[in-house]
Amino acid sequence: ETTQSIVPLWWLRVVGGVLYVSGMLMLGINSMMTWMGRPAEYENPVHTAPRLTKTYVDHTPTPTSAIDGAPVLELGKKVSVWSQMGWHRRWERLPVRFTVFTTIAVVVATLFEVIPTFLIRSNVPTIATVKPYTPLELAGRHIFVSEGCYNCHSQMIRPIVSETKRYGEYSKPGEFIYDRPFQWGSRRIGPDLAREGGKQSSFWHWTHFENPENVSPGSVMPDYGHLLTEDMNYDAIAPHVKVAAYLGAEYTDEELNNTAEVAYKQAEYIAADIVAQGGPAKAYEKQAVALIAYLQRVGVDLFATEEPAAEESAEPADTDTESSEETAEPAVEEAAQAENGDGPNQDAFVMN
């Protein structure tokens, strides 16, 4: 609805752009005609400044202190001379040296500020449920970037009531630790995708890529039918996974060594879902499946449940088993005694 309401303003921008370009063309034509109409010889002589010497010669006199001869320490006189900033004015007359010194100062100060943010891990906000993208999702993210989807879709829900009501829970810093670079975007011609994962079915996305107006009437998004016909190169996913691992993403040996097979299995699962809803067969071979895998993952980790460690969950189970066995042994002995008439009566056993 928002997009449809601002379409007339887009045309107004087109008119403004035409006027701007026309003005630039007129400026160019006017400049050319002025140059062509210049006189053959100018009446006023042209004066030129004398050439500079090859090397710099400093003719500035040595500054003197205003307190020379006063009964003060020699250090005070030196400070007085230094405060006249003559040394700085000399640098100003040496542009190359001044530029080098300024650059060194800025770089050193920047490093002092930036390096600690990379070395201290506690500076990086983390969320326990946020995990690295799978190989197929990482490939889909690469397609998302290469197709320029970030030019029309943002992935950043601001902590504003109007945005949280429209798109969902606002974005947290820890959600983007595996996004390199992040896809926050700068404008929303289309809706924000920060919570897109799980909102629509995989077949809905497939149809949306084929013709957006089939599922979203009035959409201005172009179709991406080529993603439905171009084959996915699974062997090209491995380099992306290795780069992500180098940058800190945690992957298993299976994902690092058999990247293509892992991605292929997930693609088959998504393709089966598409086929079950009426989509074409062999969808797992197409690039659209990788992009769908990425879109179905975006924003869902924040609400995921953290899985407990396997070793920790196994230990209480063993303890419970041992305690149940210990409890069962006296009960069996009491039952045997009750049958022989040596132990407690049957009523007492039943109560136990």
Distance CA 241, CA 132 (A): 10
pLDDT tens figures, 210-254: 999 999 888 889 999 999 999 999 999 999 999 999 998 999 999
How high is the pLDDT of residue 339?
42
**What are 8-47's pLDDT values in tens digits?**
999 999 999 999 999 999 999 999 999 998 888 777 777 7
Burial 319-339 (b: 16+ CB within 10 A, else e): eeeeeeeeeeeeeeeeeeebe
**CA angle centred on 32, ends 31 and 33, rounded to 5°:** 95
Mean of pLDDT over the chain: 84
Q: What is the mean pLDDT of residues 115-138?
A: 85
Report pLDDT digits (tens) over 47-104. 777 767 777 666 677 778 878 878 888 888 888 888 888 888 888 888 888 899 999 9
In which element (H, E) is residue 35 found? helix 2-36
Q: What is the pLDDT at residue 308?
A: 62
Q: Does the pTM exceed 0.85?
A: no
- Tokens representing 223 are 């179709």
Q: Is the pLDDT of residue 166 over 60?
A: yes
Instruction: Please give the structure tokens belonging to residue 249.
Output: 């993403």
pLDDT at residue 349, rounded to an integer:
31
Query: What confidence category does residue 347 fall into, taking pLDDT thresholds of 50, 70 and 90?
Result: very low
Q: pLDDT higher for 349 or 243?
A: 243
Cα 56 to chain centroid, rounded? 50
pLDDT at 351: 35
Walk me through the domains of the chain, giving residue ranges and CATH numbers. Answer: 73-123 (no CATH), 135-149+195-303 (1.10.760.10)
Q: Give the confidence band of 2 by pLDDT, cuts at 50, 70, 90.
A: confident
Over residues 286-330, the pLDDT tens digits come to 999 999 999 999 999 999 887 665 554 444 444 444 444 444 444
Per-residue pLDDT, averaged over 107-121, amounts to 86
CA gap 56, 59 in Å, rounded: 9
Cα torsion at 249, 252, 257, 263 (round to 10°)? -80
In this structure, is the dihedral angle defined by the CA atoms of residues 310, 315, 321 and 327, taken in order, positive or negative? negative
Residue 178: pLDDT band (50, 70, 90) is very high
CB atoms within 10 A of CB 257: 11
- Which residues are within 8 A (CB) of 328 and not within 5 positions of it... i.e. 6 or more apart? none
User: pLDDT band at 265, cuts 50/70/90?
Assistant: very high
Contact 212, 189 (CB under 8 A): no
Q: Given pLDDT bands bounded at 50, 70 and 90, which one contains residue 284?
A: confident
Q: How many Cα atoms within 13 Å fall on the side-chain side of residue 293?
A: 30
Task: For residue 27, give Cα distances in angstroms to 16, 24, 37, 138.
Answer: 17, 5, 15, 49
pLDDT value of position 228: 94
Q: Please determine, for residue 159, whether its predicted confidence score (pLDDT) is greater than 80.
A: yes
For the segment 187-206, the average pLDDT, to the nearest whole number, is 93
Residue 257 is predicted with a pLDDT of 94
